[in-house]
Structure 1
Amino acid sequence: MEKKIDVLYAEDDQYTAEMIKMFLEEQEFNVRIAGDGAQAWNVFRYCPPDLLLLDLEMPGKDGLELVRLVRETNKRIPIIFYSAHMDVAKELEAIKLGADDCIHKNGDKDLLLLKLRNIYHRITRDEKDPHIYFLSEATKYNAIAGLLTINGKKIFLKSMDARLLQLLCVKMHEIAGDEYLIRGLWGNVQEQNKENALRKTIKHLRDLLGADTSLLIKNDYGEGYVLTSCKFPERN
């Protein structure tokens, strides 16, 4: 990296906070720790970081409240949730409030590192509009504009395709469960009534992404779908 990315990490578990701080600083990030949401909010107001890494459940102010406060004053700063307490409803609420990524703590730390580096590219390569997901060397997606760019070709997505791609981008390289996708697209409906519609929407999005052969939307039968790249290493 040409510059260290300044991360403000809000985490009330001291052991986890120090472990992640050590891991990320070995990878050339600078990490400041806030022990709860209230402290994180105070630090953010007076000394804003390059990005926010948040736990969900914290004393003082929880992660969702913190995102709400931050987005009232700053629409651009990237926000990643890193929590063991994410369920579908909370995850979708986090995205609605303006979170860019949600990662489960039980996952591989390399996935956290990958997503933070993706954020780095958003900051350095598209500073005027950082809400962009770099899906591969050839493809990026502007979730605010619903604009998919593949090999320089711009495609403005219809609302359902745009929403689905954003939901998959937030969970990139992780399983996006059927319930998460269905509720994210259609709200609180009976899941079994929308499974066929979800499959059709996935198929249409696969067709749109087809020009980039490095990108895959894999079906993890019985679990959900994974947006990934053929260059991303498989994990057992």
Structure 2
Amino acid sequence: MSNYKILYVEDDATLAFLTKDNLEQNQYEVHHCEDGVSALACFQQMPFDICILDIMVPKKDGFELAEAIRKLNLDIPIIFLSAKTLKEDRIKGLRLGADDYLVKPFSIEELLLKIEIFLKRSHKKEMRENSHYQIGKYTFDTKNYLLWNNHEKIKLTQRESDLLKLFMDNKNIVLKREEILKALWGTDDYFMGRSLDVFISRLRKIFTHEPGITIENLHGIGFRFSIQNQ
């Protein structure tokens, strides 16, 4: 059975039921939301492989939702489904970072084909990226948010995992505080900065007994994830 998770946002109950049913029959795990606010909350709580968004949904429309998703994840495929047929709407959607734009009424066969194409493309890109790192005695699995060694297995949150991956991709290099915030949240907002400090404290605690691994705080500048002899 496919492990691919789809975030599906549609406020038309009948269309949502039919589309979700067809996707599930094709072995996709579908999480359906009726408005943009609940959809964004859902996206922040779990990892998805692809997003299918209607544009005219309540509270936060599909355009706003896609923009918010792109700030959190630059790579996840996004497909718009919409009754809006104007060329300007299609161009706006694509400029916001959508991968495709299907006009309602759409063919479920075409939608399934698009999903398959974008997931294959996304999967190939992931395969090219490093998903496992060795950090001292720990192995870091970025896809499953796990750190483990011979004695323990530590489950990270997605943000903690993203932060640790960012540090590993830039080990022994100073990262400015605002660079980290924008990479993780798309903004250098003060309250996100407080969350960053909490995540860094937890990572420091995890690596307390790992010789040669430190997270240096360069006051007024940022942080450096230092690894000696690796």
Count of equivalent residues: 129
SS of 1:3's partner is coil
Aligned amino acid, residue 117 of structure 1: E
Aligned match of 1:83: 82
Amino acid corresponding to residue 61 of structure 2 in structure 1: D
Is 2:30 aligned against 1:31? yes
Secondary structure of the corresponding residue to residue 127 of structure 1: helix
User: Which residue in the other structure is 1:216 paired with?
Assistant: none
Offset from partner CA, 1:41-86 (integer Å, 9 cap, x none): 1100111311100001111000000011111121011100011124
TM-score by length of 2: 0.53
Residue of structure 2 equivalent to 1:11: 10
Number of the residue aligned with 2:192: none
The equivalent of 1:110 in structure 2 is: 109
Aligned to 1:55: 54
* Alpha-carbon distance in 2 for matches of 1:19, 1:59: 20
- Per the alignment, residue 65 of structure 1 pairs with 64
Separation in 2, partners of 1:16, 1:129 = 37
Per-residue CA distance 1:183-216 (angstroms, 9 max, x = gap): xxxxxxxxxxxxxxxxxxxxxxxxxxxxxxxxxx
Report the residue type matching 1:5 in the other structure: Y
Q: How far did residue 126 of structure 1 move?
A: 2.3
Distance across 2 between alignment mates of 1:37 and 1:48:
17
Computed over aligned residues only, the root mean square deviation of the Cα atoms, in angstroms, reads: 1.7
Paired amino acid for 2:22? F
CA contact (8 A) 2:75 2:122 kept: no
What SS does the corresponding residue of 2:5 show, helix, strand or coil?
Answer: strand
Deviation at 1:28, TM superposition (A): 1.1
Structure 1 61/128 Cα, relative in aligned 2: closer, same or farther at 3 Å?
farther
Structure 1 spans left out of the alignment, 5+ residues: 131-236
Given the superposition, is the C-alpha separation of residues 129 and 115 from structure 1 closer, same or farther in structure 2, using an over 3 Å criterion? farther
Q: Contact 1:37–1:63 at 8 Å: present in 2 too? A: yes
Distance 2:14 2:58 in 1: 16
Contact 1:56 1:86 survives alignment (8 Å): no
Counterpart of 1:108 in structure 2: which amino acid?
S
1:108 CA displacement:
1.7
Instruction: State the distance in 2 between where 1:104 and 1:50 align.
Output: 22
Distance 1:11 1:107 in 2: 14
Instruction: State how far apart, in whole Å, the 2-side matches of 1:35 and 1:17 are.
Output: 9
| Alignment of structure 1 residues 101-140 onto 2, 5 Å | 101-127=100-126
Structure showing greater radius of gyration is 2
Q: TM-score, normalised by structure 1?
A: 0.52
Corresponding position of 2:45: 46
Aligned residue number for residue 98 of structure 2: 99
Contact kept in structure 2, 1:8 and 1:49, CA below 8 Å? yes
Q: Secondary structure at the match of 1:102?
A: strand
Q: Which residue of 1 is the match for residue 173 of structure 2?
A: none
CA contact (8 A) 1:76 1:129 kept: no
> Which shows bigger deviation, 21-30 or 116-125?
116-125
* Counterpart AA for 1:33: H
User: What residue number does 2:21 align with?
Assistant: 22
Q: Secondary structure at the match of 2:74?
A: coil
Distance 1:67 1:4 in 2: 23
